[in-house]
């Protein structure tokens, strides 16, 4: 039997996505991101930004540019998503109406920002699905959601439970701004992990994701030059708050994020050995390196292999067969 069938009977299957999501809004940066992805492979996703990336008053032209680049031969791996305008912006419906019929078959995901409730999130998803169905697109486009308002945080478990949603991201800067000066500005940077209100929000989002099998994606690091700060932020988000994916806003950040969020070669080797032994034992308990393992730990090691596969890492041949089913 395929590991998902054995290990997650009746449970929400954990999603596996590349560990880095690189944002690009201008034409130059979008083209540069596609070039870098072609060189490194699909170890990171790209999000073309129609929200903050679109010049005011030129939203329609920017959406057209986004569609052209996403559909171009430069998009080699189909791991490019799009962030549309938020539901309070007059351009969000025109984003959906113009983009979905053109890119719906190929876009990796649609990111919805600044939602204020689970109900509003579902309304945007319904509009996306309506446009896709009308255009004859026979798939449900994966949805990612930015949690950055009080209302979204209040409804975070309900949003994570929506079946089409695959990932939640924390919108740190907008969240801090929503407190109108009650949270100091340095919480938008290095002190984010230590301020109680920000830390609470980060934990609520992560917990909601893990409860519903979705991917928790950490916000940007605004420092684009100091690689040690980027590494520290990445590791704290991973080890202290349970985030398995992180935004990038500069090419310098991508390798650091990928290296520190992807499984190591030793983790892949251990996971492969344990799961292959488990399969040989019909998924009953086994002993590995003097430790007992059963299906409780198999789920953990299966997630390691799935993440490694999503990151484009090389797996042992027999482990590749497990992934392929």
Q: What is the pLDDT of residues 102-161, one digit of tens each?
A: 999 999 999 999 999 999 999 999 999 999 999 999 999 999 999 999 999 999 999 999
Can you list the domains of the chain with their CATH numbers?
20-261 (3.20.20.60), 265-324 (no CATH)
Instruction: Give Cβ neighbours of residue 64 (< 8 Å, ≥ 6 apart).
Output: 98
Q: CA–CA distance from 145 to each of 67, 107, 222, 260 (Å)?
A: 20, 15, 20, 23
Report, as an integer, the average pLDDT of 219-234.
93
Listed range (213-222, 276-285, 316-325) with the worst mean pLDDT: 316-325
What pLDDT shows up at residue 313? 85
Is 1's pLDDT higher than 90?
no
Rounded to an integer, what distance in angstroms lies between the CA atom of residue 97 and that of residue 108? Answer: 17
Q: Where are the beta strands (DSSP E) in 186-325?
A: 215-218, 245-248, 286-288, 291-293
What local confidence, expressed as pLDDT, does residue 10 receive? 72
CA distances from 55 to 13, 58, 61, 146 (A): 39, 5, 9, 21
Cα angle: 243, vertex 245, 248; to 5 degrees: 125
Q: What is the DSSP letter of 191?
A: G
DSSP string, 70-106: HTSTT--SS-EEEE---TTSTTHHHHHHHHHHHHTTT
- Four-CA torsion 62, 45, 324, 10, nearest 10 degrees: -90
Residue 164 in tokens: 């089409």
Nearest of 251, 187, 181, 197 to residue 219 by alpha carbon: 187
For residue 107, give the DSSP letter: -
Q: Could you tell me the pLDDT band of residue 165, with boundaries at 50, 70 and 90?
A: very high
């Amino acid at each position: 039997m395929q590991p998902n069938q054995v290990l997650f009977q009746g449970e929400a299957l954990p999603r596996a996505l590349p560990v880095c999501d690189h944002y690009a809004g201008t034409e130059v940066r979008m083209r540069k991101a596609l070039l870098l992805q072609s060189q490194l492979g699909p170890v990171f996703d790209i999000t073309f930004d129609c929200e903050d990336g679109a010049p005011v008053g030129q939203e329609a032209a920017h959406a057209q540019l986004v569609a052209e680049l996403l559909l171009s031969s430069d998009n080699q791996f189909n791991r490019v998503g799009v962030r549309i305008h938020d539901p309070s912006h007059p351009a969000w419906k025109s984003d959906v109406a113009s983009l979905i019929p053109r890119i719906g078959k190929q876009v990796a995901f649609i990111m919805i920002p600044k939602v204020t409730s689970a109900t509003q999130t579902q309304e945007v998803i319904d509009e996306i699905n309506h446009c896709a169905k009308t255009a004859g697109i026979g798939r449900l486009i994966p949805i990612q959601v930015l949690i950055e308002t009080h209302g979204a945080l209040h409804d975070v478990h309900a949003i994570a439970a929506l079946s089409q949603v695959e990932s939640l991201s924390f919108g740190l800067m907008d969240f801090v701004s929503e407190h109108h000066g009650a949270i100091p500005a340095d919480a938008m940077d290095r002190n984010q992990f230590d301020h109680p209100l920000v830390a609470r929000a980060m934990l609520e989002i992560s917990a909601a994701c893990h409860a519903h099998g979705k991917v928790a994606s950490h916000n940007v690091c605004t420092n684009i030059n100091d690689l040690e700060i980027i590494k520290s932020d990445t590791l704290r988000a991973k080890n202290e708050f349970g985030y398995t994916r992180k935004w990038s806003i500069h090419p310098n950040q991508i390798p650091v994020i990928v290296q520190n969020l992807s499984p190591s070669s030793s983790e892949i080797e251990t996971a492969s050995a344990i799961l292959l032994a488990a399969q040989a034992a019909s998924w009953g308990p086994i002993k590995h390196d003097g430790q007992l393992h059963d299906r409780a730990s198999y789920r953990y090691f299966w997630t390691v292999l799935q993440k490694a596969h999503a990151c484009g890492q090389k797996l042992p041949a027999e482990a590749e067969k497990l992934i392929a089913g």
